[in-house]
Amino acid sequence: MTENQKADLKSALTVFDGWPLAYAPFSPAGLHLLTLLEAPPDGTRRLVLLPGPSKLVPPKSCEVMLYPTGSTPGGRLAWEQVRLPQQARRHGANKLVLTRPTPPVAGQVPCVYWPTGEEDLPNRQRSLAERLRLALAAGGQSELQQMMWPADLPLPQSNTPFKIQPPKSHPLFYENNPLEVSTEPLVPTYILYAGPYDAHNLRLLLAGWSWAAPSLGDETQLVLLHLPQEQQRVLDENDLTASVRRVQPGTLAGLAALYRQAAAVVHLGPTVPWGDAVTASLASGQALVARDEPLTAARCGPAAFLVPPDNPRALGAAVLTLIVEEQLNGQLREAARKQVSDWGL
């Protein structure tokens, strides 16, 4: 690299949209944003713009600036279409990095998008601000310079140019990094469930667990990661409060420890390109039970016990098998290690 090229790198600035860190730090978007910020420095400056304080702090190698914006539909619209692009321009950014598909219509800074499965709002009546936000985000798609796509998943239909990248997870999830022992008072053996928590999948999970739990005994629990408080009633209705518990880790190291110390991980949602529970489970070298669907099969290969959708007995049998049959559990863990051996950091 010439001296002029080194000078250009030092003067270049990449701005990251920090909304997920402020308001959804443990979401795929938040976790993948932290993964990107942990990448080895390439000589460019990295600036994270935050609309509010974050529980998960970006690395010290990054600059952080706070521009307070409320987590309301109107505040989110203002952040995406006005404040974020305005501040990116003001700081002289060469690139704006997004983990949500919400490019500004008139941003004037090239946008790079890492898809994390947050394309849709929940199925409910949308406010005027939400409808306007989605309309403007759709209009801003032409502003996307590149979509970053993992090499292990088939390409989707899109008019945005793709750049293929190795799959990646945050360093704390990999087994070769130091482990922070979880401070949660958990039983010796637990199965970790990381979502989703819509009513259908939660009832499917609990029906499968009700089938498996009597054979596992009191020393095995189902741990629900970041279960929304309003869903606690589902546990009460099913009389499962003794064998099922909610856990809310407050740090990324605590979250990684929960993955790495589990007996197995269950995920019933679709696989998304970056930052989801399937990614975290494989990076942790875990035995994974997941729904049999094309993207999950592509990402996991032989490193998961795939079950048919909407079949609680098959789900319960898979969980029971991975606890009782230690050899199969070990085989899946070894397959997970091989699956991530060429992933990026």
Same domain flag for 92 and 159: yes
Mark whether 236 and 139 lie in a shared domain. Answer: no
Asked which of 150, 165, 180 is the last residue of a domain, the reply is 165
Verify that 154 and 271 share a domain, yes or no: no
Q: 288 lies in a domain?
A: yes
Based on the fold, state whether residues 243 and 137 are members of the same structural domain. no
Q: Rg of the chain over CA atoms, in angstroms?
A: 21
Number of separate domains in the chain: 2
Looking at the structure, tell me whether residues 82 and 208 fall in a common domain.
no
Co-location of 217 and 148 in the same domain: no
CATH number for the domain that contains residue 326: 3.40.50.2000
Last residue within a domain, chosen from 165, 199, 233: 165
Domain, as residue range, for 219:
189-339
What CATH number corresponds to the domain at position 13?
A: 3.40.50
Residues of the chain with pLDDT under 70: 1-10, 118-125, 181-185, 345
- Judgement on whether residues 26 and 157 belong to the same structural domain of the protein: yes
135 domain-assigned? yes
CA gap 97, 116 in Å, rounded: 13
User: What per-residue confidence (pLDDT) applies to 142?
Assistant: 74
> Are residues 74 and 154 located together in one domain of the fold?
yes
- Structural element, H or E, at residue 221: strand 220-225
Domain boundary among the residues 101, 132, 165 is at: 165
Record the pTM: 0.91
- Is 180 inside any structural domain? no
As a dihedral over the C-alpha atoms of residue 280, residue 272, residue 297, residue 247, rounded to 10 degrees, the angle is: 40
- Would 174 be classed as within a structural domain? no
* pLDDT value at residue 22: 97
Beta bridge partners of residue 244, listed in sequence order: 222
Provide the phi-psi class of 221: left if phi over 0, else alpha when psi is between -120 and 50, else beta.
beta
* Residues 235-280 pLDDT 10s: 777 777 788 988 999 999 999 999 999 999 999 999 999 999 999 9
Question: What is the spatial order of strands in the sheet that 95-98 belongs to?
Answer: 63-66, 45-50, 13-17, 95-98, 111-113, 144-150, 162-165
Same domain, 195 and 160: no
One domain, residues 70 and 215: no
pLDDT tens digits along 195-208? 899 989 999 999 99
* 150 in a structural domain: yes
Residues 73 and 133 in one domain: yes
CA gap 99, 275 in Å, rounded: 10
Residues 207 and 137 in one domain: no
345 domain residue, yes or no: no
pLDDT score for 78: 94
In a domain, 161, yes or no: yes
- Residue 344 pLDDT: 75
For the record, the structure tokens of 43 come out as 């000589």
Residue 173 domain flag: no
